[in-house]
Amino acid sequence: MRVACIGECMVELSERPDGTLVQGFGGDTLNTALYLARLGVRVDYVTALGDDAWSDAMAAAWGREGIGLDRVRRLPGRMPGLYIIRTDAAGERSFHYWRDRAAARDLFTEPGAAETEAALAGYDLVYLSGISLSLYGETGRATLFGTLARLRDRGGRVAFDTNYRPRGWPDHDEARAAFRAALALADLIFASAEDLDWLFGAAGADEVLRHRGRAEIVLKASSGSGPVARVLHGTADTAVPAGPAVRVVDTTAAGDSFAAGYLAARIAGLAPEAAAGEAHRLAGAVIGHRGAVIPRDAMPAPAVRQPAPDA
């Protein structure tokens, strides 16, 4: 199984309670790729970096985590973006970005784009998010969508996580059109009620549920007892609760790790409902620690092992 995650990694500055900043690296699909790698999935990250010291450090860190680097393009004279995370007393975070000239934004337009397109069409599964869509502009998105369509024509699958950030879009109508196009291409959809409300209003869930039967859907929402994943595939429609509550320290990467846990479990052969349980377990561990990436010894053991690489 050849898996690719498409998106952007940025320099991350996390603000501590005393006002100091701690540097790291992060991005939604990069977080998913990292947790997939830790769960034993062979995954490549597909992005563009610059030729600066931060880009070098990022690539080295990804390699240490076991993420494939063959699809990382390096653009001379460019740099990655930057963001700061502020976390409130309840563990909820806010993001502040400086990324207009980030190298990742030109993945599908700079020289070398054709090579990236050709490579992507050869994967078994490609994962991307709403934040991925916001990077590229209309021309880049058209190229991306065409590439994903060719991947599906040859039997590959597309997983799409709605993960909507309004500030990443110059126009609400443009965002809605891009999300509708991505949903129509996706074989597996991760969606949160909050994202859908922001994007489409009261009828947001209908935008996803119209793909029921064609796509496997995981619709995430909060209830009085905690997070619940509504899992729809074929004629099945099952609510999978998160289980025992954990102390919330930082919700950064909760959704990213949920997607990784679900995808890894499905690749390993678990049914969708069991995969949602595995996804909740991983996300629950992640929100109990500060930052997007938890210590390796805090990773919950997967319920099943990944198939051998040549299986």
**Domain-by-domain residue ranges, the chain?**
3-298
Query: Per mean pLDDT, which range of 17-31, 198-212, 238-252 is the poorest?
Result: 238-252
At the fourth CATH level, the homologous superfamily of domain 3-298 is Ribokinase (3.40.1190.20)
CA distance 119 to 20: 41
The residue assigned the tokens 């891009």 is 178
Dihedral sign (CA 197, 201, 207, 210): positive
**Helix or strand (DSSP H, E) at 251:** none
Asked if 43 contacts 159 with a C-beta cutoff of 8 angstroms, the reply is no
In degrees and rounded to multiples of 5, residue 58 shows phi and psi of -60, -55
Q: Give the pLDDT of residue 110.
A: 86
Q: How many residues does the chain have?
A: 311
* 195 pLDDT tier (thresholds 50, 70, 90): very high
CA distance 233 to 217: 7
* pTM of the predicted structure, to 2 decimals: 0.93
Task: Single out the residue of 46, 81, 44, 48 nearest to residue 63, CA to CA.
Answer: 44
- Alpha helices (runs of H) in the chain, residue ranges in sequence order: 28-38, 53-64, 113-120, 130-153, 172-185, 193-200, 204-209, 254-267, 272-286
Residue 19 pLDDT greater than 90, yes or no: no
Task: Read off the amino acid at residue 137.
Answer: G
Residue 309 pLDDT greater than 80, yes or no: no
256 catalytic? Reply is: yes
Quote the mean pLDDT of the chain. Answer: 92
Q: Give the pLDDT of residue 311.
A: 47
Work out the average pLDDT over 259-276. 97
Task: Single out the residue of 197, 166, 215 nearest to residue 206, CA to CA.
Answer: 197
93-98 vs 82-87, strand pairing mode? antiparallel
Which of the residues 161, 197, 256, 297 is marked catalytic? 256
Query: Per mean pLDDT, which range of 58-72, 99-113, 137-151 is the poorest?
Result: 99-113
